[in-house]
Amino acid sequence: MVSALTWVLAGIVAYTFVGMALRARGLLPDYIRLSGPITTLHTGRGRAFLDRLAARRRFWRAWGNLGLGIALVVMVGSFLLVVVGAYSAIVDPQPTALNEPRNVLAIPGVNDFLPLSVAPEIVTGLVLGLIVHEGGHGLLCRVEDIEIDSLGLAFFTLIPVGAFVEPDEEELREASRGAQLRMFAAGVTNNFALSLIALAVLFGPVMGAFAVVDGAPVGGVVPGSAADQAGIDRGDVLTEVDGQRVASAGDLDAVLANTSERTITVDRREGDPVSVNRSLVVTSASADRSPLGINATVTAVNGTPVSTERGFERAARNATVAALETDGGETVTAPLGAAVRVAEDGPLASEDAPSGERLVITSVGDRRTATAADLTDAIASQSPGEPVTVVGYVDGERQRYEVTLAEADTVGAALGVASIEQGTNGFVVDEFGIKDYPAGSFLEILGGDAEGTAAGSLSFAQRVFFVLLLPFAGAGAAGIDFNFAGFTGIATNFYEVEGVLGAFGTEPAFLVANLLFWAGWINLVIGQFNCVPTFPLDGGHLLRAGTESVVSRLPLPDKRRVVTTVSVTVTLVMIGSLLGMVFLPQLLA
């Protein structure tokens, strides 16, 4: 099957050839210009409007100076961010979805993090961003008495990717450096301003009308799990278990923990009730050392049938080494404890524990450590300098160590542990098999009110920062399995709208929220990206004008060459670093 990226590349090539043929035959009007797949539309309209706006010169110069300060700070930060990112790609190449080449393209449906369902909202935010960006350049041109040759839009094939203002080159060169710097910074200033306005409205009155529906939101279902076999699907909201009300994911966990029956009846907000036969499916396991693999189903521990997490925990605590039976008829004998990797320098290694090797710890002092959480609690209960007996297994052989805990920042370091694997012996079992969707956490980040979350104390600046990360939340944030792309897809099942905004219906409310979210997000991205100090971006022009301003005060014989050298060098470093961030992880891993 041909991928979406292949179709996109084929379309770009076809568009370029057709455009070249039309240009060669003289069939394109003068206001349309082509350069490969880049199409620009030129016009002289709008200059009179900019002249009227530019009448308040003192205000716009003050606005330009404020924006210039912000742009210079972001430009320096962008330089450091790109260089550090490229360095990390060299020393620790880690291919992820974030640095996949297809995800560099901000094309909904091609980029994994920009779903096609919100393409209208994304394009609307992009168009608004392009208008205010280039409008800012044009306005400051007229404020500084720099003539404008033309204005227009730039398209990558048929996709709007930029707007532009073409100032008179001679007048731009003759303008003061302060005027040039204000003009070059005006675009990103307007992008940041538009973003903050959109997000302020989103965080305030709009999200104030949103609430999370009662129930446990299902973001995903583990294949082969009890929930999967019962027909529970992503997007469902679970409201009752055996007649007991479930108001949240936490309620579901509590009800399941207090229900001993293997077969339970689960009610959903939409859809018929389903009967679920609980079974213990391994949902995660360390790659090479765990005794059980992902999707294995544990049916018995030392001959005792188990079907719930609580039952498995009881059986595990009663046996440091147990025979684990699976539904495939396989029996695996393994220690049941917390799997760790022994640090090269630490209390355990000093007592002859195998440095850098895997150790399954079954007890610390008089405390049984069947799971990673047990181990953490056991270490935390001890004091630095206190001697403690550690019992564990190395390659199936029982070992005993007399360890004196060290003073350390983490409980693992106090014992001499470099890392702790999750669950029991590196595997985690789940009796139900759903992945909770963090609807409440997402709502709190966006300024709404949801009980049981810790985001309510976030400042406005922190919320803005998290908005930048939300579309990629599931790719790198610990403990989060889902990206947030706005109120679209299954996310619309987990929220309701109240008050005046709710009177218009949920669909219009979701549309307004998505427009504000993506307008705020994409204008932050446009502003930050344009501050990267490389040509032809605004950051490159700011770099050159700023360098000229500094060099003009220095006693150098060939100032123009110094300016050119600095500008070209930084530009090449930035282009190389950007390409390295994208391609090096795949090439070097």
Query: What CATH number is attached to the domain comprising 349?
Result: 2.30.42.10
Is 456 a residue whose pLDDT tops 60?
no
Q: What is the pLDDT of residue 44?
A: 66
Task: Please state the domain count of the chain.
Answer: 3
Instruction: Give the residue-averaged pLDDT of 42-69.
Output: 84
Position 451 confidence tier, pLDDT thresholds 50, 70, 90: low
Beta-strand ranges (E) seen in 474-518 are 495-497
Whether residue 394 is contained in a domain is answered as yes
Encoded tokens for 330: 């396989």
Other C-beta atoms closer than 10 Å to the C-beta of 453 total 17
Angle, helices 57-91 vs 559-588, to 10°: value is 50
Going by C-alpha positions, the residue among 210, 248, 214 that lies closest to residue 449 is 210
Asked if residue 200 and residue 123 are part of one domain, the reply reads yes
The three-class DSSP label of residue 264 is strand
Per DSSP, helices labelled H in 286-410 are 309-317, 347-350, 372-380
Residue at which a domain ends, from 405, 420, 435: 420
Q: What is the pLDDT of residue 170?
A: 83
Q: What is the pLDDT of residue 454?
A: 47
Asked if residue 125 and residue 13 are part of one domain, the reply reads no
Q: What is the pLDDT of residue 398?
A: 92
Asked if residue 565 and residue 542 are part of one domain, the reply reads yes
Q: What is the pLDDT of residue 476?
A: 61
Per DSSP, helices labelled H in 211-301 are 226-230, 249-257
pTM for the predicted model, two decimal places: 0.80
Q: Are 473 and 482 in contact (CB under 8 A)?
A: yes
Asked if residue 128 and residue 200 are part of one domain, the reply reads yes
Asked if residue 16 and residue 43 are part of one domain, the reply reads no
Is 171 a residue whose pLDDT tops 60?
yes
Instruction: Give the residue-averaged pLDDT of 433-441.
Output: 89
Q: What is the pLDDT of residue 407?
A: 83
Asked if residue 45 and residue 87 are part of one domain, the reply reads yes
Asked if residue 119 and residue 88 are part of one domain, the reply reads yes
CA distances 571 to 127, 171, 175, 187, 548, Å, are 27, 25, 24, 20, 16
The tens digit of pLDDT for each residue in 106-128 reads 777 777 788 888 888 888 898 88
Q: What is the pLDDT of residue 161?
A: 64
Q: What is the pLDDT of residue 245?
A: 93
Instruction: Give the residue-averaged pLDDT of 518-546.
Output: 87
Asked if residue 201 and residue 63 are part of one domain, the reply reads yes
The three-class DSSP label of residue 400 is strand
Is 517 a residue whose pLDDT tops 70?
yes
Whether residue 66 is contained in a domain is answered as yes
Is 453 a residue whose pLDDT tops 60?
no
Is 218 a residue whose pLDDT tops 80?
yes
The tens digit of pLDDT for each residue in 232-255 reads 999 999 999 998 999 988 889 889
The tens digit of pLDDT for each residue in 366-418 reads 899 999 999 999 888 888 888 889 999 998 899 999 988 888 777 778 888 88
Asked if residue 152 and residue 85 are part of one domain, the reply reads yes
**Residues 578, 81: Cα–Cα separation, whole Å:** 10
Q: Are 469 and 478 in contact (CB under 8 A)?
A: no
Asked if residue 2 and residue 51 are part of one domain, the reply reads no
Whether residue 427 is contained in a domain is answered as no
CA distances 306 to 227, 339, 358, 495, 585, Å, are 17, 22, 27, 36, 43
CA distances 484 to 114, 197, 453, Å, are 10, 21, 17
Whether residue 284 is contained in a domain is answered as no
Q: Which domain holds residue 16?
A: 1-26
Residue where the block lists tokens 């799997």: 339
Asked if residue 118 and residue 20 are part of one domain, the reply reads no
Whether residue 429 is contained in a domain is answered as no
Per DSSP, helices labelled H in 115-234 are 119-143, 169-174, 177-201, 226-230
Whether residue 448 is contained in a domain is answered as no
**Residues 32, 509: Cα–Cα separation, whole Å:** 39
Average pLDDT, the chain: 84
Q: What is the pLDDT of residue 203?
A: 92
Residue at which a domain ends, from 420, 443, 464: 420
Residue at which a domain ends, from 382, 399, 420: 420
Whether residue 272 is contained in a domain is answered as no
Q: What is the pLDDT of residue 481?
A: 77
Asked if residue 72 and residue 133 are part of one domain, the reply reads yes
Whether residue 80 is contained in a domain is answered as yes
